[in-house]
Structures are given as structure tokens and as C-alpha cells.
Amino acid sequence: MMVTQRSSDEWDRPAPVAGSYAFVVGDDPEDPGSLLEVSMGPQHPSTHGVFRMDVVLDGETVVKLKPVFGYLHRNHEKIAENISYLGSMPYTDRLDYFCSLTNNWAYALAVEKLAGISVPERAEYLRVILSELTRLQNHVCLAGFLAQDMGASGTPLMYGFREREKILDLFESLTGARMMCNYMRFGGCRCDTPPGWLDEARAVVDSFPRFLHEFENLLSSNEILMSRTQGIGVLGKDLAVGAGITGPCLRAAGVDYDIRKVDGYGIYPRFQFRVPLGEHGDTYDRYMMRILEMHESLGILKQALDGIPEGPIIDPKAKLRGFRPKAGESYGRIEAPKGELGFYLISDGSPSPYRYRVRPPSLVNLTVLEDLCVGHNVADTVIILGSIDIVLGEVDR
């Protein structure tokens, strides 16, 4: 068998389809072939779903990066404009499938604003409890995935999943499903807690700090983690505000903006909690924001579980079927675990919204990916992407 040396353009790969590659690489006449274009994704172990990064590398340093998404597009907004208001509720579960309950709340909030429905006290408390539990399980998973992207053999991820399992069990016994909860309704919640559920929730909340302690022992002071994340992917204040970044990523850059404080939606003004702020805006700060927020969430959960009153769970005037809000528009937003999640609705008085628009935190936070990654190593792009915390169901909708 004869082996001949072939030049790079003789590689018998199919001709690139127009537009499938973001950049033309290697046609610089002065320096041919010095750059390497790598398509990370859509099938890649670290892209958190079907997400593609077109990366141009100089050695291992990122020169250009273009995020490519849309592989999971499923027409969420257009579907919602063609079915009833209630019918969109289970679809919102599938936006950010880690945090279905916060998605439910944001959508319910938008419709309640649109139709002027009030929510009973107990339902408000339940919503706060569920959304903080959601925040806990989202953040533990995020920290686990981040460590996994750094190559930690799954240990932190499994610790995260161990705790998440307990929270998902709570969700299942209350809402019937572990991830696609479909629990909130316009004017309250779907069903009341089964007997003993609040005690189970208290037990989970009480045992959670032990896990957080374990997690911080394992990771937060680990030299390898610190050297991998500190000074990596610095997101400046101006860029963060200018690009509309929200959530922990924004707070890691040192901007005090938490919709729970700013809007005070639901009954959040009743609870005592602090908003942690970062200074450097790097990956380590983004990671620590999540850890510190979990401590605060535990505080809110304790207060809410102590203060939850008896009473009806849903506004008796709220209609399940034949729901036709009068013409108008509304924007409901909440502080989802990933950032500001907003639903913008226009009603023309018909049973389905005239316009339905989601403001997904994952997508907006993803827009700065190139700014964060350029100049860093290819290994860093992975953890920067992990620290932004995207869920492709929400990015692509």
C-alpha cells in the first residue's frame, strides 16, 4: 500500500455547503493554514444540548467564535398564538426544562396582568416555595455541569443530582411530574399540597446546607478550579448592561439588579434576603454567585415554609375553559434562575393571544459569548459557556 502526502485541500471531505461555515479559514495569502477552524457541536459533549460553536483557533487560542443555534427550534411562540391561553402552559415547561415552575410562573404572571386576576395568599406562598426550590436545583446542576466541563469525572455533578433528586421528588408528589410540572394556573395553582408535603419540603430544605458545605469543600477552594476560572471570561459592567445580560451573570459583574427586589413581584417584598454581588465578572464569580444565591434561597424557603397560610389555592373567578381576556397587552417577568424571564402578550379578545413573545434569559446571555471567549484557550470556551448557564430549549424555543 502506498501512502502519499496529501495537502490539506485534498482531504476528501464533502464540499462545504454555502453558509455552513462561519468563516473562511486558511486563505490568508501571507500566512496560509495558520488558523484552524473547529466546529464544536452540535454533537459535542460540552455544548449543553444541540448547540454549535464555530471556533477559529490560532494554536489553541480562540480568534473568532460564532455561536450557531436553532437546532432545537420548535415554533413555541407561533404554536402559542394558535392555541388557547391554557394550552400554552404545558409548552412553557419545555422552554427551560430545568426550571419548568419558574417558566409557569412567568407566563401565569403575564396572563394575570393581562386579565387582571388576583392570586390567593396560599398560592403566592406556594409559588415562592416552588420557584426557590427550582432555583436550588438549577444552581446545583449548573455548578455540577461547570465542574464536569472542567473534567471533574462527574463527582460534583452527581452530588448535585443527588440533591436535585430530592427536590424533583417533591415536585412529583405535588405536581405529578418531575420536570414538566405544568402546575401554575391563571389565578393560582392547580392543586393543593398533599398531606405532609410541607413537612417533606422542610426536611429537604433543612438537609440542603449539608450538601452545600460538601460542595464548597470539594470545589470552591480547589486550586485547580480557581486557576481554571479566575480571570477567565471577564464580563465587564458596561458590556453586561449594554447587552442586556440578566441574572447571576449580571450580578457577577457587580450590577445590583434582581427582579425579585426591583419588581417585587408575587410576595417577594415580604421576605428577607440579600443579593450577592461579584467584582471581577469572571467565571469564578459567576460560579460563586450561584453558590451564594443558594444560601439566600434557603433563607427565603425557610421563611416561606414557616409563613404559609391555609386557604384557597386558586382564584374562584378564574376560568379554566373559554378564557378570553379583553384586548390589551402585558409583560410579565420574573427572576428565573438564569435571569430575567419575560412573557409579552397581546390579546385581541380572542381565545388565543394575538402575539406571544418570550424573552429568554439564556438566549440574551449567550449573545456575549464571543466577547468572553476571544483570546482564551479552547478549553476555556467550554467552561465560559458552562458558566453562562444556557438551556437550549429556551435559546431555540
In the bound state with another protein, the residue whose beta carbon lies nearer, of 92 and 365, is 92
**Residue 336, beta-bridge partner list:** 339
Residue 393 to residues 68, 172, 372, Cα–Cα distance (Å) = 14, 21, 22
Binds another protein by CB under 8 A, chosen from 28, 165, 206, 238: 165
Q: How far apart are CA 105 and CA 333, in angstroms?
A: 9
Q: Are 48 and 145 a contacting pair, CB within 8 Å? A: yes
The interface with another protein within residues 125-154 (CB under 8 A) comprises 147-154
Q: How far apart are CA 18 and CA 55, in angstroms?
A: 17
CB of 108 to another protein, least distance (A): 14
Among the residue ranges 17-25, 65-73, 240-248, 281-289, the one whose residues contact another protein (CB under 8 A): 281-289
The verdict on 359 binding another protein (CB under 8 A) reads no
Binds another protein by CB under 8 A, chosen from 33, 158, 237, 307: 158
Query: If DSSP codes are grouped into helix, strand and coil, which group holds residue 205?
Result: helix
Nearest to residue 338, comparing CAs of 134, 117, 198, 76? Answer: 134
Residue that has been written with the C-alpha cell 459533549 in this structure: 45
Among the residue ranges 38-46, 64-72, 106-114, 389-397, the one whose residues contact another protein (CB under 8 A): 38-46
The verdict on 72 binding another protein (CB under 8 A) reads no
**DSSP, residue by residue, 131-173:** HHHHHHHHHHHHHHHHHHHTT-TTHHHHHHHHHHHHHHHHHHH
CB of 7 to another protein, least distance (A): 13
The verdict on 317 binding another protein (CB under 8 A) reads no
Among the residue ranges 123-131, 222-230, 302-310, 338-346, the one whose residues contact another protein (CB under 8 A): 222-230
Backbone angles phi and psi of 380, in degrees to 5 = -75, -30
Number of residues that bind another protein (CB under 8 A): 83
Binds another protein by CB under 8 A, chosen from 72, 83, 241, 267: 83
In the bound state with another protein, the residue whose beta carbon lies nearer, of 125 and 183, is 183
The verdict on 225 binding another protein (CB under 8 A) reads yes
The verdict on 223 binding another protein (CB under 8 A) reads yes
Binds another protein by CB under 8 A, chosen from 23, 344, 346, 377: 377
The verdict on 15 binding another protein (CB under 8 A) reads no
What distance lies between CA 184 and its chain's CA centroid?
A: 19
The verdict on 340 binding another protein (CB under 8 A) reads no
CB of 11 to another protein, least distance (A): 5
In the bound state with another protein, the residue whose beta carbon lies nearer, of 166 and 328, is 166
Q: For residue 373, how many C-alpha atoms fall within 13 Å in the half-sphere facing its CB?
A: 29
The verdict on 70 binding another protein (CB under 8 A) reads no
Backbone angles phi and psi of 268, in degrees to 5 = -60, -35
For 321, the grid coordinates are: 375553559
CB of 95 to another protein, least distance (A): 13
Residue 319 to residues 70, 93, 315, Cα–Cα distance (Å) = 35, 21, 9
Q: How far apart are CA 65 and CA 214, in angstroms?
A: 36
The interface with another protein within residues 91-120 (CB under 8 A) comprises 91, 93-94
Binds another protein by CB under 8 A, chosen from 9, 18, 27, 321: 321
Residue that has been written with the C-alpha cell 388565543 in this structure: 352
The verdict on 226 binding another protein (CB under 8 A) reads yes
Nearest to residue 319, comparing CAs of 186, 151, 144, 224? Answer: 186
The verdict on 387 binding another protein (CB under 8 A) reads no
